Amino acid sequence: MKKPLVMVTGAAGFVGSHLAERLLNEGFSVVGVDNLCTGRMRNLKSFENHPDFEFVKADPSDGLPDEYSKRNWSWVFHFASPASPPKYFGMPIETLQINSEGTRHLLELCRKTGAKFFFASTSEVYGDPLVHPQPESYWGNVNPIGVRSIYDEAKRYGEAITYAYHRTHGVDVRVIRIFNTYGPRMDPEDGRVVTNLMFQALRNQPLTIYGDGTQTRSFQYVSDLIEGIVRLMGVDHSEPVNLGNPSEFTILEFANKVRSLIPTRSDTVYRPLPSDDPKQRKPEISLAKRILGWEPVVDLERGLALTLEYFKTNED
């Protein structure tokens, strides 16, 4: 029996590689698409020779080969995009393009082939929230021309065009809003708080805190995210779904957890808070609990220990 065929864009990225691997284990044939602007081939190492995996170096922003519309796609998962501030600040136009033109090309593919479309959105669509925690019904507080708009508004547009195709052409869609996620295969230089503080501690460098450290984040281990994605595939729900860990920590509390895990001589240094940086971030996940029977199972201490084990053996 022929296995169902799926496409995963951003397959060499942190989350995309975990998703591709899980889908292979679930019995799908996977075509991984990535232009490697932020993805890393090393993330594919554990499954790159799998008989049901095919890697294509390409950028969906440039369109897709005609031959793709002749293949019998079951799902198209759009996870390609720079996702950390240093990365999307360095590639502002590319970030906007992959979430606009890239999304449109992939939705067109789904319209032509009848595939289901799965869009990886982000908690950043809520901006610097005035509602806490953030439910899916919250419209957000986003600066449309601020420095972070290249990512925030790109994802908001990605959601908008996804629902335009859903309403106009009947494309079956799923949309997740991903809150801070961490784990093995993260890029050590991605500039996120987890990698920044863990690698600074490992290297006995000063731990950098932006602002006064009282801003909050919620940290989700990658296996919990992937489990939520797979469960959403199995239900008929087209509206956005938050996937994140509702356990909330200040950045200073997180830094102390890193110190307790990694013996370090590092001091703490404070830097100005970046423009439009969210002051608080916590997902409201009652919808995911209700329709998916899902909630995170990996606590921060366990997840950080697993991540540290990976970093120690895979540091560049």
Point out the catalytic residue in the list 68, 88, 126, 151: 151
Mean pLDDT (the chain) is 95
pLDDT of amino acid 315: 57
* Rounded percentage of the chain residues whose pLDDT exceeds 70: 99
Q: Examine the domain organization and report whether 39 and 50 are in the same domain.
A: yes
Instruction: For residue 265, name the pLDDT band (cuts at 50, 70, 90).
Output: confident
Q: Mean per-residue pLDDT for 200-225?
A: 93
Does the pLDDT value for residue 234 go beyond 90? yes
10: left (phi over 0), alpha (psi -120 to 50) or beta: left
State mean pLDDT over 81-90.
94
Please check whether residues 156 and 40 belong to one and the same domain.
yes
Active site residue 151: yes
Query: Is 187 a domain residue?
Result: no
How many separate domains does the chain show? 2
SS3 (DSSP) at 33: strand
Residue 160 sits in the same domain as residue 211: no
| pTM of the complete model | 0.96
pLDDT of 274 > 90? The answer is no
Tens of pLDDT, residue by residue over 29-41, are 999 999 999 999 9
Find the mean pLDDT for residues 241-264: 93
> What is the spatial distance between Cα 222 and Cα 195, in angstroms, rounded to a whole number?
14
Of 1 and 219, more confident: 219
* C-alpha torsion angle, residues 147, 36, 120, 223 (rounded to 10): -120
| CATH number, domain containing residue 128 | 3.40.50.720
Separation CA 288–CA 285 (nearest Å): 5
Is residue 143 domain-shared with residue 269, that is, in the same domain? no
188 part of a folded domain = no
pLDDT at 308 over 60: yes
The conformation of residue 131, written as its DSSP 8-state character, comes to S
3-state secondary structure of 57: strand
CB 24 within 8 A of CB 50: yes
Structural domain including 197 reads 193-216+248-281+303-314
Is the CB of residue 35 less than 8 Å from the CB of residue 10? no
The pLDDT assigned to 297 comes to 98
Structure tokens at 276: 């439009």
Residue 25 lies in a domain: yes
φ/ψ of 51, rounded to 5, equals -65, -20
Judge if 50 and 169 occupy the same domain: yes
Provide the CATH number for the domain around residue 209.
3.90.25.10
Q: What does the pLDDT look like over 108-160, one tens digit per residue? A: 999 999 999 999 999 999 999 999 999 999 999 999 999 999 999 999 999 99
